[in-house]
Structure 1
Amino acid sequence: MIDTVAWVHLEAGRILCARPRGKQVFYIPGGKREGAETDLQTLLREIKEELTVEILENTVAHVGTYEARDGGPLVRMSCYTADYRGTLTASTEIEELAWFGYADRPLVPPVDQLLFDDLAATGQLT
């Protein structure tokens, strides 16, 4: 299983997505846990590495945990919202940032699509 943590950042009915260098698919920002990292430690590290902003720890809230298979191992994605400090900027790891609505669902992996479905069902993603 691939165990990941993701940052759900919504603005005006759209969700922030990132496309890593050398890949064609967009993902919810975040990444894989390293060693015995907690979800919070993984979230803080990955978002700083990918988007050069600092997540404000006291604002982190769990949104949901999703699991899906995309032709390979099972992927688990634990999702969190949080406020941040700084300016969202793609790091050297990230080729492109984009704001996606529900119509962009086919552009993300199956586990991300489950999050899109939940956000759309609650009216948070348009």
Structure 2
Amino acid sequence: MRTEQRLIDTVAWVRIESGRILCARPAGKDVFYIPGGKREGSETDLETLVREIEEELTVALVEASVAHVGTYEAVVPEAVVRMACYTADYAGTIAVSSEIEEIAWFTYADRPHVPPVDQLLFDDLVTDGLLAR
């Protein structure tokens, strides 16, 4: 009998500059992720995105510029990860916070260093000519 898998519902900020995408490695983790995170309570995608990016990267997203670029799902052990991805302009200077140990600008060649759901986004971005190989 098939058991219902837990859903991990996240939002992510897709920031691409010069063919590279911004990725962040949380403190205590070995893997880089697209910046963002899980919603709290009944937060909307926008509320979650704005809060998470401010907490992680110390910048304020310009809410009027937020645009949905895609939603991706990947199966991981014991769960399904759903990631709603958005672009947005920002104010401030991107910097690591207490939650984030390191930031990096990845090309498609760095795809193996991100989780499966992020890899799906990388695939679309390189196909669309937005992410350098």
- Give the TM-score of the pair, scaled to structure 1: 0.99
The answer to whether residue 82 in structure 2 is matched with residue 76 in structure 1 is yes
User: Per-residue deviation at 1:70?
Assistant: 2.2
Match of 1:16 in 2: 22
2:120 aligned residue (110, 114, 122): 114
Aligned equivalents of 1:12, 1:71: Cα separation in 2: 34
User: Per-residue deviation at 1:69?
Assistant: 1.4
2:93 aligned residue (77, 87, 93): 87
| Code of the aligned partner of 2:55 | E
| Code of the aligned partner of 1:107 | H
Aligned partner of residue 71 in structure 2, secondary structure: strand
* Paired residues of 1:70 and 1:109 also in contact (CA < 8 A): no
The answer to whether residue 129 in structure 2 is matched with residue 123 in structure 1 is yes
- The more displaced of 67-76 and 103-112 is 67-76
Aligned equivalents of 2:79, 2:91: Cα separation in 1: 34
Match of 2:66 in 1: 60
Q: Name structure 1 gaps, 5 residues minimum.
A: none
Aligned equivalents of 2:69, 2:77: Cα separation in 1: 25
Aligned equivalents of 2:93, 2:99: Cα separation in 1: 16
Aligned equivalents of 2:110, 2:76: Cα separation in 1: 18
Match of 2:51 in 1: 45
* Paired residues of 1:6 and 1:80 also in contact (CA < 8 A): yes
Higher Cα Rg, which structure: 2
- Give the TM-score of the pair, scaled to structure 2: 0.94
Match of 2:31 in 1: 25
Which runs of at least 4 in structure 1 moved beyond 6 Å after TM superposition?
none
What's the RMSD between the two structures over aligned residues?
0.5
Aligned equivalents of 2:78, 2:15: Cα separation in 1: 27
Percent identity reads: 72
Match of 1:6 in 2: 12
Aligned equivalents of 1:120, 1:91: Cα separation in 2: 29
User: Per-residue deviation at 1:99?
Assistant: 0.3
User: Per-residue deviation at 1:125?
Assistant: 0.3
